[in-house]
Structure 1
Amino acid sequence: MPRPPGDTPIHVDHLPYVERLDARPADAVDLVVIHCTELPDLATARAYGEQVRYADSGTGNSGHWYIDRDGRIVEYVPATRIAHHVRGCNPRSVGIELVNRGRYPRWLDAGHQAMDEAYPDAQIEALVALLAHLQATLPALRHIAGHEDLDTALVAAEDDPARQVRRKRDPGPLFPWPRVLAATSLARLP
């Protein structure tokens, strides 16, 4: 895959099971989903992505690209493979994971739902460059959404099963949607 605009290279480091993920044509992708890792660092996100969670296919959960806090972009899965990153939308979408603590390590505790880590400028600049690159290389790409927009399920809180919490809240309240949308022609899904 060519480099995105500017000086932001994409480092390719495919997951060990990438060839077992279903293939698709580039023009099948019309949606990019923005996530945050809800993990402390890129190394932990990599270890999580390498875990096999689907025994029948020998694959796991992962986004396509990961952007570290310093703006480094790493491709774990090419756009022409269907990654497991969002319920119900994987065949039509690609996922971009931003390294961010989110609710780590108590994701589903009712008393720990704040997402208070800001996204650094370098990370958002790399995201904007990657989005421009994807629009230039994925001919049907038209839409953008947050994981929280697509997976709105509620689950019992782990620390208080009588309370419900959002299963997914990423990229969260500190994600700069106005800045990102102003820099792209992608339309946010409602």
Structure 2
Amino acid sequence: MKRHVDTIIIHCSATPEGKRLEPAALVKMHRKRGFNGCGYHFYIRRTGEICDMRPVERIGAHCKGHNEGSIGICYEGGLDIKGNPKDTRTAEQKKALKYLIMTLKKEFPIKEIAGHRDFSPDLNGNGTVEPEEWIKECPCFDVKAEGY
């Protein structure tokens, strides 16, 4: 059974530059948080490898309040060596992300593609989630500005 999906939410793994986070370690981290497996549907390694983490038929566990109609994509990285937020995507990851989004758009009626931070609450009620309202920086780049 195919579920209704119209949103793609991009995440980072909050892994510092120079460090690796294996897919199995990501699953383990999510299980520790009480999820039944990885909460993301896809994980993009620094090499550009796209790992299937959760069947898209299953609701994700990646963006509280927005999992029902969305697909979660996470890229390995998102922090500089000191642990500060930074867009650490490699050229291979950028290429893989574009390819994956293009593929998903053919399969689902995607209306919105945004970063995890874009789903933070609009605290001042002006209709826009500004940087000072972000709960977290994830995915550490402006998804909408990239024009997906």
1:35 aligns with 2:23: no
For 1:85, give the aligned amino acid: H
1:47 to 25, 46, 49: 25
Show the counterpart of 2:52. 75
Structure 2 SS opposite 1:42: coil
Matched, 1:142 2:121: no
User: C-alpha displacement at 1:129, in angstroms?
Assistant: 0.3
Q: Distance in 2 between matches of 1:170 and 1:153?
A: 16
Structure 1: tracts of 5 or more residues without a match: 1-23, 106-111, 155-163, 185-190
Contact 1:63 1:84 in 2 (8 A): yes
| Contact residue 87 and residue 139 of structure 2 kept, 8 A | no
Alignment partners' CA distance in 1, 2:136 and 2:99: 25
Residue correspondences, number = 135
- Alpha-carbon distance in 2 for matches of 1:29, 1:176: 18
Quick one: percent identity of the two aligned structures? 27
Residues 88, 34 of structure 1: alpha-carbon distance in 2 compared, 3 angstrom cutoff: same
How many Å separate the matches in 2 of 1:37 and 1:87? Answer: 16
**SS of corresponding position for 2:60:** coil
**Is the 2:11–2:74 Cα contact (8 Å) retained in structure 1?**
yes
1:168 counterpart = 2:146: no
Distance in 2, matches of 1:101 and 1:90, equals 21
TM-score by length of 2: 0.75
State TM-score, norm by structure 1: 0.60
Give, in angstroms, the shift of residue 116 of structure 1: 3.0
Larger Rg: 1
Q: Runs of 5+ in structure 2 lacking a partner? A: 124-131
Structure 2 residue 103 is the aligned partner of structure 1 residue 133: yes
